[in-house]
Amino acid sequence: MDPSKGTIGDCKELMLSLRDFGDIWRGKWKIQIILYLSINKDKTIYFTQIRRDIPGISSKMLSKELKELEINRLVSRIVHPTIPVKVEYLITAHGESFAPVAETMILWGLQHRKLILGIIAALNQ
């Protein structure tokens, strides 16, 4: 975190990493999905179950997001050849490594909410 080089605004490396991070996790759904699978990693979770438990997500989005998460080795898929077919989704070890990051986000979000609500309360009084 030290801009040791001469000019202002070096630390491009950090900015680039952040950009990479953003590219992977952009969009409304992926982080919620990973958190969900992370929390329920001891259960057997099928496609429709996820869709039911993440309010507002459509089949299309869920399918797309899961595909991208799989490409990034964050979840894995197991097809059960029953009739009709069922597809199980699991979080990978690598996917689980994201849980602490999500936790940091959540804690910050709560703290932020408290601060903003405090400001609003002060304004209204």
Dist CA 31 CA 11 (whole Å): 27
Residue 86 site contact among a copy of itself, DNA, none (CB < 5 to 8 Å, cut-off depends on kind): DNA
Query: Does residue 103 belong to the site contacting a copy of itself (CB under 8 A)?
Result: yes
Stretch that binds a copy of itself, among 59-67, 80-88, 94-102 (CB under 8 A): 94-102
Dist CA 96 CA 12 (whole Å): 28
CB of 60 to DNA, least distance (A): 4
State both tokens at 54.
Answer: 């993440």
Coil/strand/helix, residue 79:
strand
CB of 41 to a copy of itself, least distance (A): 10
Complex with a copy of itself: residue 83 or 121, whichever CB lies closer: 121
Query: Does residue 25 belong to the site contacting DNA (CB under 7 A)?
Result: no
Dist CA 11 CA 70 (whole Å): 31
Coil/strand/helix, residue 46:
strand
Query: Does residue 61 belong to the site contacting a copy of itself (CB under 8 A)?
Result: no
Answer yes or no: are the C-beta atoms of 45 and 87 closer than 8 Å: no
Residues that bind DNA (rule: CB under 7 A) add up to a total of 25
Query: Does residue 43 belong to the site contacting DNA (CB under 7 A)?
Result: no
